[in-house]
Amino acid sequence: MRVVAVTGSASGIGAAVRRRLEGEGARVVGVDLRDADVVADLGTSAGRASALEGVERAAGGALDGLVACAGLGPQVTPTSLLVSVNYFGAVALLDGLRPLLAAGRAPSAVAISSNSSTITPGVDGAIAAACLAGDEDEACRLAGEAHGATAYAAGKLALARWVRRNAPQAAWAGAGIRLNAVAPGAVLTPLLQEGLDDERLGPAIRGFPIPLGGFGTPEQIAAAVAFLLGADGSFCCGTVLYADGGSDALIRGDAY
């Protein structure tokens, strides 16, 4: 039986990924703030350490897959949490559980980025740079001074770049571990609903162009994750798969 760890497993995309993988016969080790096999706060160093220890115990020394899905939306305050959880929490689990993946069978990992990482004005700046430099204090300081949408997108941009930079390296591809990312668009989850209910962000979310029409579903993103995790995605390495109803293609048609 394949063993896969999923962070953010209690709701939204993470819960849909868990259901999908369990439906395919995998044993899922869920990590979340509540209702999970491993309860931990990935926004803190202590919580990340606890999550790593808990997953290692539950997995029995080896993992066949990992999905770094836990995240917060741009409406959350303080906005520093948008990098401490979305970037540093994800990277800590990806990096910390890599030895368990190396001991697994046809191992693969998927991080959840966002299409906001490429289409948000001003996103490619100091916040993303501080994240990629590993300077959590500076990244949190900068994110705390930024609009939530900018801090969110910057953290997700940094995560996608971390995946791209690390996937082909000896520690990942060289060890037989595939590392990829999915970049969802607007997906109807509790996280998105919080944004829709926000008087500042709601109108922008509702007006965002989605060529296929309407918001995505968590199950659609779970299908993309399952593809990258499984044998059908076995030649994907460092891929950022946009699952956003065509929004990125519409806005950045000549970028690839």
- Cβ atoms of residues 184 and 160 within 8 Å: no
Residue whose token pair is 């303080």: 78
Q: Is 152 part of the annotated catalytic residue set? A: yes
d(CA 204, CA 195): 9
DSSP result, the chain: --EEEEETTTSHHHHHHHHHHHHTTPEEEEEESSSSSEE--TTSHHHHHHHHHHHHHHHTT--SEEEE-----TT-SSTTHHHIIIIIIHHHHHHHTHHHHHTSSS-EEEEE--THHHHSTT-SSHHHHHHHTT-HHHHHHHHHTS-HHHHHHHHHHHHHHHHHHHTTSTTTGGGT-EEEEEEE-SB-SHHHHHHHHSTTTHHHHHTS--TT-S-B-HHHHHHHHHHHHSGGGTT-SS-EEEESTTHHHHHSTT--
d(CA 71, CA 12): 10
- Nearest CA-CA partner of 216 in 114, 147, 66: 114
Catalytic residue among 87, 152, 242, 256: 152
Catalytic residues: 152
